[in-house]
Structure 1
């Protein structure tokens, strides 16, 4: 989310617009330490919520009051709330009475629900009621994938526009990567296939499946090392050890974007991992969009992922990637083997994937939002 917002702001600034970020106290404090290229305003701090994710969002009124204050002070032409809920819900309560245009973007957890994984705000009746009540009023909403837009339609949202997330296609493709040096640093020989997954270690990302997929692959004569990079992935270490797979996996901590770098690209170290891998594999359970899969495709890496939600918006199985039934570890193993033993097919999917990713460059996504902003401002001020 933070990278998406940062990239969108920078894209709009490059197009000549004056953009200010209004964000939570903690994020604003961190950003000010690195002096970003755009103004940052802090919302008031709030006590931490309940121990269960999505359980509590706090009171809307301190945030709403701050939004009203900053609007009256700065006279912004339009506000763009990322997350329909709770962010949009808090801002809408004061911007609508003020007659100020507001666009709200649904990114996933604000409207999607996965009860099995305890995912999403709307699993709780209070939050679900608030979202539905707000969408009964005239609202301008966007979803980052057709899957999200379908949910918005089901909630009877008005004025829906489907605008995807973007990637820094030029930044990814321009990166020069020393593949040999990186593989050497990972202790991966030249005759070994390198697989990559980038995700946080939470249930919805499906990283627990990798243990069993890799176990199936170890029964073949293929030499494989699997890199898993992301927050808390070290928590998987014992599972791989128990299955005798420690030598075939590399668990790397999350790679943070350098906020001193004004480019829109993901961290250079992550781009290098994309580019030196033979396959990007993404066994996720729930994706509103799936940015890392699109970045891997932009890097020219053949990609295999779960056949779900937002991934279907840009992945076409057999054309620019392979899609596999969610949670089907055997199917993932079969798909991986099929591409590793067929380099021509792997390269064809990689080439087509890169052509697809080019359509999602941030400049194009930003233009779509700017067009929508003009429509919203025009309609709101009638």
Structure 2
């Protein structure tokens, strides 16, 4: 790999979701942000990146050029329409075949696949073209199944088997944290020589410390309100219901806060349990919280920045996160975070320094943690200030640099 990166060509695969999609809508989330930001930052370093994604709209051009170095290419596999994620494994062969046609004679240096569906297609292409395969899991079936609640869907065997095969055949596996690397070794028999730690980043130009009063005035939010914010897809894994129950518990203890306490939930339904979100309004009403809880559709990132600024504390009650970009974005805005003590959230949030980590999903424990920060604005500001400094160390430029180091390793192993 050239030291100046000029002329290096990467075939990046994001089969099930496009980096052009709005995060928080449908299956779009942190992976979309990751792919979009990484491709952009690699391009700014002289790397040519083609991102291949499954066509879901017949009217979208086959190639959308994002910059001189970066393009998103549509690959036809199945109908040019939304397809449920659980049906996509049956389309990976068609996707790989069409990818080979679209690929043509273009001379790539390596394949970088994101998520297991992309990895299945990536294995085929890397093998056919004798290229190294770099793979980023983002989430893992065996880890999700270990951390799921009883009423959550189990990740299917086909995914577990697919991920095992990807690990066996990948040249390099990138992990967000050392803990994730250890999980790849423990659950999938990855070997240490395969692994590269590539922490994700945060867009520090969009998300940065901000003025709460100005943001509240902009959105007509009471300056005296105590505001908890949730940002994410409305699905069981992300667990916004935990915050609903926690708010109910706080008001059970302290009914005098009813006029001040607010929970703002920003997100859209997602995944095979997308109808799960339909029950949230009833849960809110059953608690008698229709005046205290506001549910909004997901916002563009520039607008989302302002909602972070409005909040006093951001809750991330996920059952599992490979890292937790919402936690990082919130801290970049100077907001303390209360998150589940699980997975990558243990790295995104420094317990007691930038926020609080809660063991499990007991609403009483969550109420305790949230209440402790809402009752101590000075402590919340202290954690928020430390969080902004912590988040400043996670830039997408650093992610790109670590990815380039992983690419170099992959190319050396091939040679």
- Cα distance, 1:185 vs structure 2: 6.1
Q: Which residue of 2 aligns with 1:261?
A: none
- Cα distance, 1:211 vs structure 2: 2.2
Correspondence for 1:349 among 348, 372, 383: 383
Correspondence for 1:64 among 72, 87, 96: 96
Q: Which residue of 2 aligns with 1:262?
A: none
Tell me, what secondary structure is at the counterpart of 1:169?
coil
Tell me, what secondary structure is at the counterpart of 1:57?
helix
CA distance in 2, matches of 1:188, 1:6: 32
Indicate how the Cα distance of structure 1 residues 274 and 359 shifts in structure 2: closer, same or farther if over 3 A, else same. Answer: same
2:41 and 2:397 in contact (8 A); partners too: yes
Correspondence for 1:54 among 63, 86, 90: 86
1:286 and 1:308 in contact (8 A); partners too: yes
Q: Which residue of 2 aligns with 1:26?
A: 56
Give the superposed CA RMSD: 2.7
271-280 or 240-249, larger mean C-alpha shift: 240-249
1:320 and 1:352 in contact (8 A); partners too: yes
Show the 5 A alignment for 1:221-260. 221-222=256-257, 223-232=260-269, 235-256=279-300
Correspondence for 1:319 among 334, 342, 353: 353
CA distance in 2, matches of 1:65, 1:55: 18
| TM-score (norm: length of structure 1) | 0.87
CA distance in 1, matches of 2:189, 2:136: 15
1:197 and 1:280 in contact (8 A); partners too: yes
Show the 5 A alignment for 1:200-239. 200-218=233-251, 219-220=253-254, 221-222=256-257, 223-232=260-269, 235-239=279-283
Tell me, what secondary structure is at the counterpart of 2:315?
strand
Residue 276, structure 1, aligned to residue 345, structure 2: no
Indicate how the Cα distance of structure 1 residues 65 and 45 shifts in structure 2: closer, same or farther if over 3 A, else same. Answer: closer
CA distance in 1, matches of 2:204, 2:234: 26
Q: Which residue of 1 aligns with 2:274?
A: none
- Cα distance, 1:108 vs structure 2: 0.5
Q: Which residue of 1 aligns with 2:113?
A: 81
Query: Which digits, 9 at most, give the CA deviation of each residue in 1:56-86, with x for residues without a partner?
Result: 5114332222333444421111221011x12
- Cα distance, 1:228 vs structure 2: 0.5
Query: Which digits, 9 at most, give the CA deviation of each residue in 1:26-76, with x for residues without a partner?
Result: 279658798633322222222599998636511433222233344442111
- Cα distance, 1:335 vs structure 2: 1.2
CA distance in 2, matches of 1:149, 1:28: 39
| TM-score (norm: length of structure 2) | 0.80
CA distance in 2, matches of 1:20, 1:111: 30
Q: Which residue of 2 aligns with 1:358?
A: 392
Residue 40, structure 1, aligned to residue 72, structure 2: yes
CA distance in 1, matches of 2:354, 2:325: 15
Residue 163, structure 1, aligned to residue 194, structure 2: no
Tell me, what secondary structure is at the counterpart of 2:135?
strand
CA distance in 1, matches of 2:136, 2:371: 38
